Structure 1
Amino acid sequence: MTDVSGISHLLETQVSSEDMVRGSFLHARRDIVSLPDGNHATREYVVHPGAVMVVPLLEIPGQDLRVVLERQYRYPVQRVMIEFPAGKLDAGESTAHCAQRELFEETGYRASEWSKAGVIHPVIAYSTEFIEVWFAKGLVAGERKLDKGEFLDVFTATANELIAWCLDGRVTDTKTVAAALWLQGYQAGTWKPVWSSSTAN
């Protein structure tokens, strides 16, 4: 439960709620809320089940740290985007299982060690979506199993290349830009992941 001490003057309270759209993927709602000053306002937002993103590390002794990335066309922005592997949670699925599943299905890689980095909320103004960020290493390549209608390229880049692409605007995907912060910390030794085997998650 959220601790509201000291922030109660900022909270909004739901008065009523209704469905706007309930599609195969998107579920949009419209709520009437009571504001801190007692007035009412409308809040429209997308209900999302949550997702995971995986930062797959290729660590080869004597070489620069590399990461596994994807290129995928994203229709809403009409662009091919550079991203880390990611996907939404299935009903009842744990985030750890989702991370392992998405990494294998999209890239063909399996990992022997995993570490949960944290959680990001990519679009707080209009969505309930959260993305849990996982790092993976000890990668073994295999044959990927893309969903029907899914088309993407898998490639690798050095961690420093990815960070530079985030800084110069070549990478604009929110979750991937956010992961670059953890990646910088990992390289600098200021963020130290706690690794565990994939079977322990």
Structure 2
Amino acid sequence: MHYKSSKKFEETTISTQEVFQGKIITLQVDQVQLPNGQIASREIIRHPGAVAVLALVDNKMLVVEQYRKPLERSQVEIPAGKLDPGEAPLEAALRELAEETGYRAGSLKLISSFSTSPGFADEIIHMYLAENLIKGEAAPDEDEFLECEAITLDEAKQYMQEQRISDAKTIMAVYAWQIYQLTGQIG
């Protein structure tokens, strides 16, 4: 079931100017008419969408550590990546898990699909729970340098306190995992 948005705060697009088109994102500036009739500018990032995987093996969560240039530091995150053109989120989740960790999922279940930064971007991340994992060989993209490890829930919480885990998708995964451990339910 999808949420039907109210139109009472709708902003009508008057014009769109593409400012930048990159390999992953596009930046556009829209002129919009506000509900009160005034005109405003909106800077919008267009993104193809992404997947993230809460992968559990032996009651541990698989994470990868990699350098994140925008933050100028390494981060510990759950396996994730962008959707390729025409790729279904489920297929992308299976692909990213295998590429980054070497594991193949015996079962995959959607936890949630959520907006990352709705104030300026249209990116949606589809987060999946992967269980019944089978070990294989990782094959990261040629521009990805990462290291995979399996951590306990207590270690994940410690990483969050240390800011080694600080991205929203991984924090959300840690809390979803905690709920899953307590209730046996996810998504």
Normalising by structure 2, we get a TM-score of 0.93
Task: Report the aligned-residue RMSD.
Answer: 1.6
- Change beyond 3 A, Cα 1:58–1:98: same
Q: CA deviation at 1:75?
A: 0.7
Q: CA deviation at 1:3?
A: 2.5
Of stretches 117-126 and 167-176 in structure 1, the one that deviates more from structure 2 is 167-176
Residue in 1 that maps onto 2:4: 3
* Alpha-carbon distance in 2 for matches of 1:10, 1:130: 21
Work out whether 1:102 is the aligned partner of 2:60: no
Q: How does 1:3-82 map to 2 (within 5 A)?
A: 3-4=4-5, 7-59=6-58, 65-82=59-76
Q: CA deviation at 1:174?
A: 1.4
- Sequence identity of aligned pairs in percent? 34
- Is contact 1:84-1:176 (8 Å) kept? yes
Residue in 2 that maps onto 1:145: 139
1:4-45 Cα distance to aligned partner (Å, 9 max, x none): 4xx433221111111010122221111011111110100001
1:36-85 Cα distance to aligned partner (Å, 9 max, x none): 111010000110000000010013xxxxx211001000011101001000
Residue in 2 that maps onto 1:175: 169
Residue identity opposite 2:103 in structure 1: Y
Work out whether 1:89 is the aligned partner of 2:83: yes
- Is contact 2:29-2:44 (8 Å) kept? yes
Residue in 2 that maps onto 1:158: 152
- Is contact 2:24-2:48 (8 Å) kept? no
Q: CA deviation at 1:100?
A: 0.2
Q: CA deviation at 1:166?
A: 2.6
- Is contact 2:63-2:79 (8 Å) kept? yes
Residue identity opposite 1:58 in structure 2: V
* Alpha-carbon distance in 2 for matches of 1:95, 1:77: 26
* Alpha-carbon distance in 1 for matches of 2:61, 2:22: 35
Structure 2 runs not aligned, ≥5 long: none
Could you list the structure 1 runs, at least 4 aligned residues long, displaced by more than 2 angstroms after superposition: 1-4, 163-170
Aligned residues: 186
- Change beyond 3 A, Cα 1:75–1:44: same
1:112-148 Cα distance to aligned partner (Å, 9 max, x none): 0111100121111211101000010111111111111
- Is contact 1:120-1:175 (8 Å) kept? no
Of stretches 84-93 and 180-189 in structure 1, the one that deviates more from structure 2 is 180-189
Of stretches 166-175 and 23-32 in structure 1, the one that deviates more from structure 2 is 166-175
